[in-house]
Homo-oligomer: A and B are copies of this chain.
Amino acid sequence: MVDDFIYLDYAASTPLDPLVAERLHDCRESVFANPSSNHAAGRISRAMIEGGAQQLAALLNVDPGTLIWTSGATESDNLGVAGAARFRSHRGKHLVTLLTEHKAVTDVFQMLEKEGFEVTWLKPDAGGCLDPAAFASVLREDTQLASIMYVNNETGVMQDIEAIGSICRERDVLLHVDAAQAVGKIPIDLQALPVDLLSLTAHKFYGPKGIGALYIANRPGCRVDPILFGGGQQRRIRPGTLPADLIAGLGLAAEIAQSRIETDLEHLGKLRRALWAAIRDVEGVLVNGDIESGFPGILNVSVSGIEGESLLLELEPICVATGSACNSKSQEPSYVLRALGRSDRLAQSAVRFSMGRPTTEADVEFAGRRYRQAVARLRDLAPEAAA
Chain A contact residues, CB within 8 Å of chain B? 1-2, 4-5, 7, 9, 12-16, 18, 21, 24-25, 28-30, 32-34, 36-42, 44, 70-75, 77-78, 102-104, 107-108, 110-111, 201, 203, 208-211, 227-233, 239-246, 312, 316-322, 324-330
A2 → chain B, closest Cβ, in Å? 5
**Could you tell me if B2 and A41 are in contact, using CB atoms closer than 8 angstroms?**
yes
Q: A229-B108, A325-B36 are in contact. Are A241 and B13 (CB under 8 A)?
A: yes
Do A28 and B21 contact each other (CB < 8 Å), given the known contacts A13-B33, A34-B325, A230-B326? yes
Residue from A38, A39, A75, A203 having most chain B Cβ neighbours under 10 A: A39
Say how far A36's CB is from chain B's closest CB, in angstroms.
Answer: 5
B228 touches A227 (CB 8 A): yes
Please give, as numbers and ranges, the residues of chain B lying within 8 Å of A36 by CB-CB distance.
Answer: 12, 325-326, 328-329
Given contacts A1-B29, A15-B32, contact A39 B319 (CB under 8 A): yes
Collect the chain B residues with CB atoms within 8 Å of residue A328's CB.
36-38, 42
Check if B39 sits within 8 Å of A312, measured CB to CB: yes
Q: A104-B230, A321-B37 are in contact. Are A75 and B241 (CB under 8 A)?
A: no
Find out whether the CB atom of B231 lies under 8 angstroms from the CB atom of A41: no
In the complex, which of the residues B39, B74, B233, B322 contacts A240, with contact meaning CB atoms closer than 8 Å?
B74
Q: Which residue of B lies closest to A240 (CB)?
A: B74
Residues of B within 8 A of A240 (CB): 71-75, 104
Query: Taking A2-B41, A104-B240, A228-B227 as contacts, is the C-beta distance between A33 and B9 under 8 angstroms?
Result: yes
Complex Cα–Cα for A210 and B104 (A): 19
> Closest 4 A-B residue pairs measured CB to CB?
A231-B326, A104-B230, A209-B243, A74-B240
Query: A36 — nearest CB in chain B belongs to which residue?
Result: B325
Cβ-neighbour of A102 out of B1, B230, B320 (below 8 A): B230
B residues in contact with A44, CB < 8 Å: 2
Judge whether B319 and A230 touch: CB under 8 Å: no
Knowing that A2-B30, A34-B325, A39-B319 touch, tell me 10 more A-B residue pairs with CB under 8 angstroms.
Answer: A5-B40, A36-B328, A40-B316, A42-B325, A42-B328, A75-B228, A210-B211, A230-B326, A233-B326, A241-B325
Complex CA gap A4/B41 in Å reads: 10
A7–B102 touching, CB < 8 Å: no
Instruction: Take A24-B24, A210-B243, A228-B78 as given contacts and tell me if A4 and B40 are in contact as well, using a CB distance cutoff of 8 Å.
Output: yes
Which chain B residues border A15 with CB–CB below 8 Å? 28-29, 32
Q: A107 touches which one: B4, B104, B107, B239 (CB < 8 A)? A: B239
Closest B residue, CB atoms, query A21: B28
Interface pair B231/A74, CB less than 8 Å apart: yes
Residues of B within 8 A of A244 (CB): 209
Separation of A40 and B24 alpha carbons in the complex (Å):
26
One of B77, B231, B319 near A42 (C-beta < 8 A) = B319
- Report the bound CA distance from A246 to B208 in whole Å: 9
Instruction: Select one of B14, B24, B38, B211 contacting A329, CB under 8 A.
Output: B38
A244 to B328, CA, bound (A): 17
B230 touches A227 (CB 8 A): no
Q: Does B5 lie within 8 Å of A34, measured CB to CB?
A: no
